[in-house]
Chain A
Amino acid sequence: MADPAGLAFSLHRVDSVPVIQLENVTKTYPKASRPSLDDVSVGIEKGEFVFFIGPSGSGKSTIIKLLLHEVSPTQGKVMVNAKDVTSIRSWKIPHFRRSIGCVFQDFRLLPNRTAYENVAFALEVIGKTKAVSRRVVPEVLELVGLGGKEHRYPHELSGGEQQRVAVARAFVNRPLILLADEPTGNLDPDTSIEIMRLLDRINRTGTTVVMVTHDSNIVNQMRRRVIEIESGRIVRDQARGVYG
């Protein structure tokens, strides 16, 4: 397949300790007739780049929610960084979430704050000082390619630029894992590829990237590990997969 964007990289070295491990995870939402995830077991190594693909309602997003401990598994174990997520005391969950960065389809930026302030907000509400923000935020905005646009408000930025701010915010705290829930869902193909380049660059710093997507084009170009879910079950787990 043609690779105009040059996104197909070889797998780089991964550690052997899984940073994410689902063990026989079943999640049935209250009142649901069938489980969203049905006895799913999967391990993701540190530094991996993994796509979760599958039709709507297949249970992909449930995985993200489980990893963030927004929901608890009905059965099974969710391990993040060798810790059982379900055993974390509820008041410690915020601290746990600092090790996970999140990017969403709808960006979730604060409209009344500039790009700089959006990223700084994420740092300052977890107790970092303004001095730290002043040092770190311009750096990460530069990294995501927004140098010079720090003081624009979200409505003054394009969709792709807004998503870059969101990625900067997710990454500024140097998380262990970056979760991306359809990050290109609102973007045109060219912009999507730029965002994928960015996620790839972040992956190369050693951050594990888990991305849920529908975008076959991107999956096919990246040639990374693809886990396909259908009706709550893993139907395919391929090291350098395509959308299929």
Chain B
Amino acid sequence: MRLKYVLNEVLVGLWRNVTMTVAMIITMSVSLTMLGASVLLYMQVDQMKNYYYGEIEVSIFLRTDVTEAQRTAIDSAISSNPLVAGKTYETREEALKRFQELWKDSPEFVKSVGPNSLPESFRVKLKNPETYKTFTDQMSPMEGIQDIIDQRALLDKVFNIFNAIQVGALVVAGVMALAALLLVGNTIQVAAYSKRREVAVMKLVGASNWFIQAPFVLEAVVAGLIGAVLGFVALFVSKIVLFDNKLQALTNILTPIDNGNVWLMLPLLAGVGALVSAVTAWVTLRFYLKV
């Protein structure tokens, strides 16, 4: 009977103030969508870093007038360097072939590049890409090197953009969460006011605190859970629309978002939504239902 009573009170409470309930659910779901997007992006960037950093090479381009002795010296310096995991050597011809393959859609551009325009290079894989700076410093004094380029620097620019988007989503999530909290607090106040007589009698006859508070807290939790489910649906739909359709071109750069990761957002959003609502409701009750 008590469970039935509590559940009934929750439904009545949500319905009594239905416009407020809807507002609460919408802000909650927007906030949680942003939170989910932010977390997904974070996981995505992490995954991409793992993926791309593994592929990353340091290119050591040699001068066009490099001598045989210099090349051999550089080669053995790379081989004997403890930071190095592996290296390949690319001749001018190979560089040209690769270049032609890469830009085969723009034959004009390819034609403008002669067989001697592209430098020969060593492509070096480091054991730990983070040690790039040390490696560069060790190599750069050597004769015959024109330039040392780390692909990481380029990738970091891309990741910085993702990080900015992620932080932005987190900020929006926070602001919306604040609005959601205020709405939850207000809804609970209104609910407590409309049930003040019942609450007074319950206190009088010695109903336990949890029994008095449970319907209010659960009301907020149910709204939070509905918000979380809606937020999850929004996230899933965006993922399909944006990444699987509209932005498919980008997926050459982006590693694909794992559906498992998206599903992981459901318990996360539900947990955050429910917990935040419950705590807000409970704190509000501490002020409005002095027991």
Decide: A108 and B201 in contact? CB cutoff 8 A.
yes
Known: A124-B1, A125-B207, A125-B211. A94 touches B291 (CB 8 A): yes
A152 contacts chain B at the CB level, 8 A cutoff: no
Which residues of B have CB within 8 Å of A93?
291
- Bits for B247-291, please: 1 = Cβ < 8 Å to A, else 0: 000000000000000000000000000000000000000000001
In the complex the two chains form, is B291's CB within 8 Å of A126's CB? Answer: no
What residues of B have a CB within 8 angstroms of the CB of A126 in the complex?
A: 205-208
> With A125-B211, A127-B2, A130-B1 given, is the CB distance from A97 to B204 under 8 Å?
yes
Question: Contact partner of B207 among A91, A94, A102, A110, CB < 8 A?
Answer: A94
Nearest residue in A to B211 (C-beta to C-beta)?
Answer: A125
User: How many Å from the CB of B238 to the closest CB on chain A?
Assistant: 45
Partner of A94, one of B197, B198, B200, B208: B208
- Whether B5 and A124, one on each chain, are in contact in the complex, defined by CB atoms closer than 8 angstroms, is yes
Find out whether the CB atom of A98 lies under 8 angstroms from the CB atom of B201. Answer: no
Among B198, B200, B201, B202, chain A packs the most CB atoms within 10 A around the CB of B201
B189-217 interface (Cβ within 8 A of A) = 197-198, 200-209, 211-212
Cα of A111 to Cα of B194 in the assembled complex, Å = 13
The answer to whether the Cβ of A157 comes within 8 Å of any Cβ in the partner chain is no
Q: Which residues of A contact B197 (CB under 8 A)?
A: 108, 110-111
Give the distance to chain A from B278, nearest Cβ to Cβ, in Å.
18
Cβ < 8 Å to B, chain A residues 112-159: 121-122, 124-127, 129-130
Q: How far is the CA of A108 from the CA of B5 in the complex (A)?
A: 21
B207: A residues at CB distance < 8 A: 94, 125-126
Number of B residues with CB within 8 Å of any CB on chain A: 18
Q: Is the CB of B209 within 8 A of A125?
A: no
CB neighbours of B1 from chain A (8 A): 124, 129-130
A173 to B206, CA, bound (A): 10
> Given the interface contacts A90-B291, A121-B201, does A97 sit within 8 Å of B206 by beta carbon?
yes
Within 8 A of B (CB), among A31-78: none
A225 within 8 A of B: no
Return B217 CB to nearest CB of chain A, in Å.
16
Whether A95 contacts B208 by the Cβ 8 Å rule is yes
Q: Give min CB distance, B256 to chain A, whole Å.
A: 52
A residues within 8 A CB of B211? 125, 127
Given contacts A108-B197, A124-B1, A127-B2, contact A94 B209 (CB under 8 A): yes
Min CB gap A154→B, angstroms: 11
Q: Does chain B have a CB within 8 A of A169?
A: yes
Q: Which of B1, B198, B205, B291 has the most CB of A within 10 A?
A: B205
Across-interface contacts of A96 in B (CB, < 8 A): 206
- Assess the A169–B206 pair: CB atoms within 8 A: no
- Assess the A91–B205 pair: CB atoms within 8 A: no
> Shortest Cβ distance from B70 into chain A, in angstroms?
82
Name which residue of chain B comes closest to A129, CB basis. B1
Shortest C-beta distance, A80 to chain B (Å), equals: 13
Q: A108-B200, A110-B198, A127-B2 are in contact. Are A98 and B209 (CB under 8 A)?
A: no
| Separation of A130 and B201 alpha carbons in the complex (Å) | 18
The residue on A at minimum CB distance from B202 is: A125
What is the distance, in angstroms, from B101's C-beta to the closest C-beta of chain A?
Answer: 75
Cα separation A185 to B173 with both chains bound (whole Å): 56
Q: List B contacts of A173 (CB < 8 A).
A: 205
Chain B positions within 8 Å of A130 at CB level = 1
What's the Cα separation between A100 and B198 when bound, in Å? Answer: 18
> Which A residues are CB-close (under 8 A) to B202?
125
Tell me how far the C-beta of A176 lies from the nearest C-beta in chain B, rounded to whole angstroms. Answer: 12
User: Which residues on A sit within 8 Å (CB–CB) of B2?
Assistant: 124, 127
List residues of chain A with CB under 8 Å of any chain B CB: 90-91, 93-98, 100, 102, 108, 110-111, 121-122, 124-127, 129-130, 169, 173
Known A98-B206, A110-B197; further 10 A-B contacts with Cβ < 8 A: A91-B208, A94-B209, A97-B203, A97-B204, A108-B200, A108-B201, A125-B201, A125-B211, A127-B208, A130-B1
Q: Which 7 A-B pairs have the closest CB atoms?
A: A97-B206, A98-B206, A125-B207, A122-B205, A94-B206, A94-B208, A125-B202
Chain B contacts to A: CB under 8 angstroms: 1-2, 5, 197-198, 200-209, 211-212, 291
28 A-B residue contacts at CB 8 Å?
A: A90-B291, A94-B206, A95-B206, A95-B208, A97-B203, A97-B204, A98-B205, A98-B206, A108-B200, A110-B198, A111-B197, A121-B198, A121-B201, A122-B201, A125-B5, A125-B202, A125-B205, A125-B207, A125-B212, A126-B205, A126-B206, A126-B207, A126-B208, A127-B2, A127-B208, A127-B211, A130-B1, A169-B201
